[in-house]
Structure 1
Amino acid sequence: MGTNAVKNNRVHQRTIEKDSGVELADDEYLGEVGWLYVVEAHRRIRLGDLLTSAILAAADGHGLFATIQSKNIGARLLHERHGFYQVDKSWPSSEQKDRVNLYIRGGRRG
């Protein structure tokens, strides 16, 4: 029905820092929330919220970040509901004719 994961790729994280102009310190940020997908037949029943809540619980207080295409309004709203906020700078997507936005959610640890 759906999937979500935390990607922990520090090389990719450095690229995101460069593109966004935001430091994502290794000791604060566990990784990038990604691969969030809910099968179309099961959308609009808050499965994305359940998957995101599970990721946040598994992060055990560490910060997380997500890169979201500007046109993906659903993902942007979902992450905002869970305490993520968009940083000011966006950058061109290498995958689509769109811009990428960095969303971050700081943790209790550091």
Structure 2
Amino acid sequence: MAVMTRVLIIASLLLVLSLHLLHVVQADDQLESTNAQNTLPKTIDCGSACATRCQLSKRPRLCKRACGSCCFRCQCVPPGTSGNTDVCPCYATMTTHGNRLKCP
């Protein structure tokens, strides 16, 4: 009888320890995913990105001004001098008060 009691106690302790270990591992996974989500957003040099984007524009100062405000809000500028808006959806969907596309 004493042997059976000891076996039950040891089995119970092993169960509690394994549940505690599982809890610790899950807490660590949640902490890692939270830290990954809370990383600071990358910032880009809007001046040079917009200068590249607007280099072929017929109205480069207007283009750079509009691009600059879009870049500041979205923190991205599509590559190239036009198009490629799928790379930066925020930039591609921003509109003026007249519902025209704001970003060049």
Considering fraction of residues, name the structure with more helix.
2
Higher relative contact order (CA 8 A, sep 6+): 1
Q: Which structure has the bigger radius of gyration?
A: 2
| TM-score, structure 2 as length reference | 0.26
| TM-score, structure 1 as length reference | 0.26
Considering fraction of residues, name the structure with more strand.
1
